[in-house]
Structures are given as C-alpha cells and as structure tokens.
Amino acid sequence: MICYVPAEQAPGEPRAALTPTTAQALIKLGLTVRAEPGVGRASHYSDADYVSAGVVLDADRDAALAAADIVLRVRKPSVADVARLKRGAWHVSFLDPFNEPALLAAFAQAGVNAVSLEMVPRTTLAQKMDALSSQASLAGYAAVLQAAARLRLALPMMMTPAGTILPARVFIIGAGVAGLQAIATAKRLGARVEAFDTRPVVEEQVKSLGAKFVKIDLGQTGQTAGGYAQALTPEQIARQQAGMAKVIAQSDIVITTAKVFGRKAPRLVTQAMLDGMKPGSVVVDLAIESGGNVEGSRPGEDVVTPNGVTILGHANLEATVAHHATQVLAANFAAWLTHFWDGQAKTLKLDLQEEILKGCLLTHGGAVVHPQFAPKS
C-alpha cells in the first residue's frame, strides 16, 4: 500500500502529518511512504532526513494523490483534492466535520474512507492517536508564553533590594487539556493561578497543579459520556459571568479555553468585564476557531481595547511550537495506522463495528456512514 503525505497548503500552517521517525515506523509496517518535497520544512524536518528514513519524495502532487491508498494530512483537503483520490482510498486528517457537509458529500461521492481526527474517541485505548489532546496541550503552553511576552509585567514574585515584585495573576477559564497545560505553564513561570471549569471533576486536577479553583454555583452541569462539557443554559452563563467578573478584574492574564464539542463556544468574557480589567492586561481567546469566548476577539489579530487590554485571537497557537506539534501529531497518525494495520494482509482492517473506527470513519462505500453526519432522510 502507498501512503502519501502532501505538504500543507493552508496559510500559516507549518505542521506536517509525518516526521522521519514516524515514516520509519510506517515503512516497518510494510507501507511505501511517499511525501511532497518540503513537507516538514516549516516545522524544521528536512527533506534529507525524510529520504534517509526511507521516504520517496514525489513532487507531482496530483498524480501522487491519485496513486495513494492512504493520504495523511493535517488540514482538511479541498473538494478538488478529494476528487483526485482513488475509490477505496483512505484519507486521514482533521476535517472540521460539523461545519463541512459539502466536503463530506465529496468524500462520499469519491468513494473514499474519510477519517476525522476530531472524532477519534477520547478513550484510554485511543489515547496515542488523540490529536486533539496532543495539539491542545501545546496550545495551552503557547498561550501562556504569548500572553507573557505581551504583558508588561514579570510573572514570578521577585524579592529585590529595590522592593518586592508581586506575582502576576493568571485566570484560566476551561480546565480541559489546553487549560490544564496553561495552568501548569503559568505555575512554572511563578504566577499566581486561578481556574474555573463547569465540569466538577476538574477541581481536583486544578488543585493538584497548585492553582486555586474558583467556586461558582451553576446548579446542574456535568459532562457527556465522552468526557465533554454539557452546554449551559443562558441563566447558567449569566451566573458564571457574575461569578467570574471579580477574578477577571483582578487578573493580569486571562486565558479562555471553554468549548462545547460540536457547538459554538460560549461567550463568557463580556465587554463590561474587559472594561473592568487593568490597562496592560492580556486576554487569550483559545476558543477563537469555534466562535470565541471573548467579546471583541478577532481571528488572527491582537485587539487592544480602549482601556488598554490586549485580546489575542490567534488560532493554531500550537503552530508557534511547530517542531514539537508535528512530532506528536505525526505520532498520533502513526498510532492510528498501526492500530488498524493488518500485518498479514499488509492492509488496513476495515471493521465497521470496531469502536474507534466507528467513532472516526465518516464516509465509506459511497456514503456518509457516521450517524452524526449522515444526511437525515
């Protein structure tokens, strides 16, 4: 089987779906691995290292896509690229399936097995292929560094002969994978850290990192079977906002990571809250790609409010640590392929009842097969 990894084409996307190390693992399985020249350049993996690992570089992208049995890429493809794939081929990538019905229809029409990394179940068995977690963790880390670089304050407490510098105050809203890594990073930098999440199980995790959990009584909240937060009612959001307003006003950095899987992110930080913050404070909206948690945040921009608060609305912050983001993302791809690889037949196992595949296979045999995305008759 031929596995082809094209270079990413989306502007500002330095990550790749393959490293020389994962290429070696795929070749060991029995795959022929081809890649577009320059595939890892933006994340500092050289063509020479891919070639040394046994990868065949193929610059004829369209022909290579048409010849491939498996295509790995980070970002969703164009509909035109989908049409180039051969029937029965596998395509594994992030797909943004809740917002891409036309792309799913194109995959179905092309007879391709489209696998969505977002939909890999967040179970212990699938942990090694959990690309949402591997990338969110680095985004949480990067969010703190981006905020610290713009803040005109030091983060740790410093006792100097000229007086004591107090630690900066950091508030993390949403303590999932990204939020917990942001807490850990801010703590390592010496900040005083507080956090809030609607899932009650998170309180212990926040405390174990040395941060304070902000208590807000929202009534019934909880989480889905998959571990995700339930959407709040408008009344609960209003209560949450009231409970957070004072902490936000006292914070030097606020990092928001609050998401509800498959839905628009809740709007949690209002203009009035921003107005109450100190000049020079920094807010990072990590939920920007799903609509944003912060009023006035704009995708790809630093917005400075009239009272001098900077709001960072940059998606894909993991791209600022692209070498490591690619290292772990490529490992997620390799783990996925290894899990489904049939070493005897030297092909991918297509067991439609297998739990992980049932979760992440969106199209097969000419149709959208995933119940969440299949057209309703």
The catalytic residues are 122, 127, 130, 133, 228
- 123: contact with ligand NAD by CB under 6 A: yes
Neighbours of 183 (CB within 10 A): 26
Between residues 108 and 356, which has the closer beta carbon with respect to ligand NAD?
356
Q: With 0-12 CB in 10 A as exposed, 13-18 as middle and 19+ as buried, what is 119?
A: buried
Q: What is the DSSP string of 167-180?
A: PPEEEEE--SHHHH
C-alpha span between 328 and 319 (Å, rounded): 12
Whichever of 113 and 297 has its CB closer to ligand NAD, that residue is 297
Q: Which is nearer to ligand NAD, 61 or 358 (CB)?
A: 358
Q: Which of 136, 151, 331, 360 binds ligand NAD (CB under 6 A)?
A: 136
Q: What is the spatial distance between Cα 206 and Cα 93, in angstroms, rounded to a whole number?
A: 31
The amino acid at residue 37 is P
Cβ of residue 314: shortest distance to ligand NAD, in angstroms? Answer: 16
Kindly state the smallest distance separating residue 290's Cβ from ligand NAD, in Å: 9
Size of the site for ligand NAD (CB under 6 A): 31
Interacting residues with ligand NAD between 256 and 275 (CB under 6 A): 257-261, 266, 268
Alpha carbons 135 and 138: distance in angstroms, whole number: 5
For the bound state, the minimum distance from the C-beta of residue 191 to ligand NAD, rounded and expressed in Å, comes to 19
Among 80, 102, 124, 377, binds ligand NAD (CB under 6 A): 124
Q: Does 233 bind ligand NAD (CB under 6 A)?
A: no
Stretch that binds ligand NAD, among 65-73, 91-99, 102-110, 125-133 (CB under 6 A): 125-133
Q: Is 67 exposed, middle or buried (0-12, 13-18, 19+ CB in 10 A)?
A: middle
- 222 touches ligand NAD by CB under 6 A: no
Supply the minimum distance, in Å, between the C-beta of residue 172 and ligand NAD: 9
Which lies closer to ligand NAD via its Cβ, residue 43 or residue 256? Answer: 256
Q: Please say whether the beta carbons of 237 and 268 come within 8 A.
A: yes
Q: How far is CA 349 from CA 141, 173, 338, in A?
A: 36, 41, 10
**Within 157-186, which residues bind ligand NAD (CB under 6 A)?**
173-179
Q: How many residues does the chain have?
A: 377
Distances in whole angstroms, Cα of residue 105 to Cα of each of 79, 91, 277: 9, 14, 46
Name the residue nearer to ligand NAD (CB basis): 297 or 363.
297
Using CB positions, name the residue nearest to ligand NAD: 176
Q: Is 130 in the site for ligand NAD (CB under 6 A)?
A: yes
Which residues face 196 on adjacent strands?
A: 173
**Residue 264 beta carbon to ligand NAD: minimum distance, rounded to whole angstroms:** 11
194 binds ligand NAD (CB under 6 A): no
Residue among 106, 107, 105, 64 at smallest CA distance from 88: 107
228 touching ligand NAD, by CB under 6 A = yes
**Residue 88 vs 299, nearer CB to ligand NAD:** 299
Rounded Cα gap, residues 8 and 40, in angstroms: 9
Q: Does 97 help bind ligand NAD (rule: CB under 6 A)?
A: no
**Which of 26-34, 195-203, 206-214, 356-364 is the region at the interface with ligand NAD (rule: CB under 6 A)?**
195-203
The reply to whether 52 sits near ligand NAD by the rule CB under 6 A is no
Q: Which tokens hold the place of 361?
A: 């296979």
CB atoms under 10 Å from CB of 349, counted, come to 11
Interface residue with ligand NAD among 229, 317, 331, 356 (CB under 6 A) is: 229
* 132 lies in the site for ligand NAD, by CB under 6 A: yes
Q: Is 313 in the site for ligand NAD (CB under 6 A)?
A: no
Burial class, 95, CB count within 10 angstroms (exposed 0-12 / middle 13-18 / buried 19+): buried
Residue 140 makes contact with ligand NAD by CB under 6 A: no
The answer to whether residues 27 and 33 touch, using CB atoms and an 8 Å cutoff, is: yes
Q: Indicate the residue type of 372.
A: Q
Quote helix, strand, coil % in the chain, to nearest 5: 40, 20, 45
3-state secondary structure of 2: strand
- Give the binding site for ligand NAD (CB under 6 A): 122-124, 127, 130, 132-133, 136, 173-179, 196-199, 227-229, 232, 240, 257-261, 266, 268
